[in-house]
A and B are shown apart, each in its own frame.
Chain A
Amino acid sequence: MLGLPMAALVLKASTLELPEIWAIATNPVALSAYDVTFVTALWAVAINGIAGIAIAWVLVRYEFPGRRILDAAIDLPFALPTAVAGLTLSTIYSDVGWLGSLLAPFGIRVSFTRLGVAVAMIFISLPFVVRTVQPVLQDLEQEVEEAAWMLGATPWQTFWRVVLPPLVPAILTGVALGFSRAVGEYGSIVIIAGNLPFQDLIAPVLIFQRLEQFDYAGATVIGTVLLLVSLLVLLVINILQAWGRKYDN
């Protein structure tokens, strides 16, 4: 189920000549697609990294009306089919949509631009950092913070020196998981973006377009590049998790 399809991809790629692979992998349309995919995904997960810490903190440390509903809603991007996410985001951020019409007077367009790609990536990668940080924050002993406070640390110092360090492995794991999801995302982005080369075309959509043109070699090479990136991220996640476990002991 897993091994055979991967072998098919890699072996198909290896039937091509090396210069040919290089030419397909680095053709300008492909390079721009990597740029849109990876750079936008980095921005999206960076924003969600910071927001995720704040969300996890609020959910774990504060008691307020509606907390349970917020907590449950965090998982919506996991549960909502991506086509639905793309549809509703593209409507909201279109020039006449609820939020798009507020941005339009400032000349900011979201739907059918790279900003739209970022919005979709932010949506689908939101839960990861929250869900990795939450359990670690829950286990953190509040006495240590009180001790820091008693010893005269400012709240800022307490946060940077006491609270944040044990959370770092969890934050980075969440960021890496979100990145891997954002890079592979297809459904929501194909709907909200214009999918134009050199503008807002992402790598998974490029693969799909190549397949539609029956350009199997092109699809395979770009697919292999994405696969290698996924494997690399998976390796990083494993290292981060091992690091996190070391923190526990």
Chain B
Amino acid sequence: MTTKATDGAIANRQVSAGSTKNRRQDVSTGKWLLISAVVLYLGLVIFIPAINVFSQAFKGGVSEFIAAISSRNFRSAITLTVIMAIIAVPLNTIFGLCAARAIAHKQFRGRTLLLSIIDLPFSISPVVAGLMLILLYGRNGWFGPILEGNNIKIIFALPGMILATIFVTLPFVAREVLPALEEIGTSQEEAARTLGATDWQTFWRVTLPSIRWSLLYGMILTNARAMGEFGAIVVVSGNIGGKTQTLPLYVEEAHIQYQTQSAYAAATVLAGLAVVTLILKTLLEYRTAIKSSD
């Protein structure tokens, strides 16, 4: 009773100070309420699904997990997935660098249009992308008769899958490198050139070192998407187990055939890839933040 009365007296005497304090308390309560709401939302949408992947994969113990990942179709799927990345990442890195260099520091008519065109694979549904490739290279497609005449198979075979992968991952490197190029400006490159460096030397010694983190980030994103693409690949590959089935397609087929253990074993490998991608991304951002605060 006495403490309460004293508290009240103090509060009454310091009305102005008290109202500020209350307000601050309101802000602090609001802050923690908002943080809790955000944590709850992200928990439902992101963390629970992510934890579920690992929990389901090891539900039957490690031995069942190992049995699931040593099947023939699984190994073929993982090989194919790695092939997709090995081909698509370097090609799109080169394309992205060239495209970004061609666009950076230049103002010309249709620049925004060109940027939008490079971004198209992000807006187009992967299924529509696959459909386009079928209409182009399929049996009844534009190049169908020529390809068939020369016994070249693109659709329902590896080349089609590679084309689809390159299509959906096209913008990543260009999108990451372009802002970095714009930010470093042209003065250093011009200085190098004035001092007699060739274009090639300027690129390797001046440009590349200053955009390397953005470039790496773009390559990581390209890799993640190349290994994880589903929609475009499922349309052009024909999804033949052991032949044209990448890891994401393997996950879906195992799930449909009620081989939950196999589905989750493959899903864990892909989720592991996603976690590595996120860790690398966070590290790269951390590096860039240190660099810019120097």
Q: Which residues of A approach B to under 8 Å, CB–CB?
A: 1-2, 4-6, 8-9, 12, 51, 54-55, 57-58, 62, 64, 66, 68, 70-92, 98-99, 122-123, 126, 155, 180-181, 183-187, 190-191, 203-205, 207-208, 211, 216, 219-220, 223, 226-227, 230-231, 233-234, 238
CA distance A80 to B170 in the complex (A): 18
**A81 touching B46, Cβ below 8 Å:** no
**B167 touching A1, Cβ below 8 Å:** yes
CA distance A175 to B203 in the complex (A): 37
**A5 touching B34, Cβ below 8 Å:** no
> Is chain B's binding surface mostly helix, strand, loop or mixed?
helix
What's the A-B contact tally at a CB cutoff of 8 Å? 222
Q: Which residues of A contact B120 (CB under 8 A)?
A: 2, 6, 230, 234
CA distance A75 to B120 in the complex (A): 21
Q: Which residues of A contact B136 (CB under 8 A)?
A: 4-5, 8
**B267 touching A83, Cβ below 8 Å:** yes
**B282 touching A68, Cβ below 8 Å:** yes
Known contacts A57-B34, A70-B42; A79/B267 CB under 8 A = no
- Name A82's contact: one of B31, B117, B128, B248 (CB within 8 Å): B248
A-B contact pairs, 22 of them (CB 8 A): A1-B166, A5-B129, A9-B131, A68-B282, A71-B282, A73-B278, A76-B46, A76-B50, A78-B224, A79-B228, A79-B274, A79-B277, A80-B228, A82-B228, A82-B230, A87-B53, A88-B267, A90-B255, A203-B125, A204-B125, A205-B127, A216-B134
> Is chain A's binding surface mostly helix, strand, loop or mixed?
helix
Q: Is B243 an interface residue (CB 8 A)?
A: no
A-B contact sample (15 more), CB < 8 A, given A79-B274, A99-B44, A123-B49: A1-B167, A5-B129, A8-B132, A76-B274, A80-B228, A82-B228, A87-B264, A91-B260, A99-B48, A181-B122, A185-B231, A187-B248, A207-B127, A216-B140, A227-B124
**B127 touching A184, Cβ below 8 Å:** yes
CA distance A99 to B44 in the complex (A): 9
CA distance A126 to B42 in the complex (A): 9
**B264 touching A223, Cβ below 8 Å:** no
Q: Which residues of B contact A230 (CB under 8 A)?
A: 120, 123-125, 128
**A55 touching B230, Cβ below 8 Å:** no
Q: Is B184 an interface residue (CB 8 A)?
A: no
Known contacts A75-B278, A81-B228, A187-B248; A88/B128 CB under 8 A = no
